[in-house]
Amino acid sequence: KAGVTQTPRYLIKTRGQQVTLSCSPISGHRSVSWYQQTPGQGLQFLFEYFSETQRNKGNFPGRFSGRQFSNSRSEMNVSTLELGDSALYLCASSRDPRGNTIYFGEGSWLTVV
């Protein structure tokens, strides 16, 4: 079956712009979580959605937001981009929030210039 799909894979934005990243979970998975990965901070949790509701949010500023649609697809948005937002953004899905194995997508590489 198809894995977790993230789009776009690569993008370059300018400071002050906004960006929207998309994630399609594995079919049948209703829980989607987002992580930011940088060389300095490693993998950090952004937020988790289940059945269109945000269950948990990491320690990120309000410029970072997300949502989940009825088909479980999820988007995250970053407004007023800063250079420090340059990172690999990873999406993961599982059957439910307590579901065992989580499956990651290939990620979206964001570069802010």
Task: Give the interface with other proteins as residue ranges (CB under 8 A).
Answer: 4, 6, 33, 35, 42-45, 48, 56, 58, 88, 90, 92, 97-98, 100-107, 109
- Smaller CB distance to other proteins: residue 12 or 43? 43
- Smaller CB distance to other proteins: residue 18 or 102? 102
Query: In angstroms, what is the minimal distance from the CB of 82 to other proteins?
Result: 23
Beta strands in 1-113, from DSSP E residues, in sequence order: 5-7, 10-13, 19-24, 31-38, 42-50, 53-57, 64-68, 74-78, 87-94, 103-104, 108-112
